[in-house]
Chain A
Amino acid sequence: AQSVTQLDSQVPVFEEAPVELRCNYSSSVSVYLFWYVQYPNQGLQLLLKYLSGSTLVESINGFEAEFNKSQTSFHLRKPSVHISDTAEYFCAVSEYSWGKLQFGAGTQVVVTP
């Protein structure tokens, strides 16, 4: 069985400041890792994923996450946030590369001017 812990339920951050969202997981098998984002009044969208290869993965809008196997973490970072990054972010893990995901409880990011 797997579990996912998102250590912060809410992260307030000022515009153009950096942000880090923490995600730790536990699993007895190798896993695939995902970050999903839910903007206000929209459905969940895939932000980035780690399936294999380079442990540092990036999204098209400036987010990056690093898979750390020894620390069982997959923290999400962005060096400079925009107002439009206000959303809820979910970390997810799966022992399959397809869609049976175990989600964390989510981190609400609120970006203010």
Chain B
Amino acid sequence: GAGVSQTPSNKVTEKGKYVELRCDPISGHTALYWYRQSLGQGPEFLIYFQGTGAADDSGLPNDRFFAVRPEGSVSTLKIQRTERGDSAVYLCASSFEGSGNSPLHFGNGTRLTVT
């Protein structure tokens, strides 16, 4: 079956612009996560959705970052007034129920470059 799909795979934007990154989770997965991976580092947790609501957004670095999941399926990560330090690979993952018995399934990520 289809895995987690992230679009676009690459995004280049200018400093100060607004960007949206999309994640299509595996069908039926109620839990959805966003992570950010900077060069040479491991993924860093950003936000976790259980259904439509953000159960934990403690990883969002500041108020320029926002994520939604209005129908409990597709999620969009939104970044306002992008900065060069936002350049990273943004990873989305989903799991069946958000418990330890449900492994995370990661997408291939969106590589964001802010020039």
Contact = CB atoms under 8 A, between A and B. Distances in A.
Answer whether A and B are interacting partners: yes
Interface of A: 4, 6, 32, 41-46, 49, 51, 90, 92, 96-106
A90 B3 CA distance: 20
A44 B43 contact: yes
Contacts of B108: 41-43
10 contacts: A42-B108, A43-B91, A43-B106, A43-B107, A44-B106, A49-B100, A92-B42, A97-B99, A97-B101, A100-B45
A23 B34 CA distance: 24
A47 to B, nearest CB: 10
B55 to A, nearest CB: 9
Interface of B: 3-4, 31, 33, 40-45, 48, 56, 59, 91, 93, 95, 98-109
Contacts of B98: 98-99
Nearest to A51: B100
A82 B40 CA distance: 25
Contacts of A104: 42
A102 B42 CA distance: 8
Contact of B41 (A41, A46, A105): A105
B70 to A, nearest CB: 20
Given A49-B100, A105-B40, A105-B41, A99 B106 contact: no
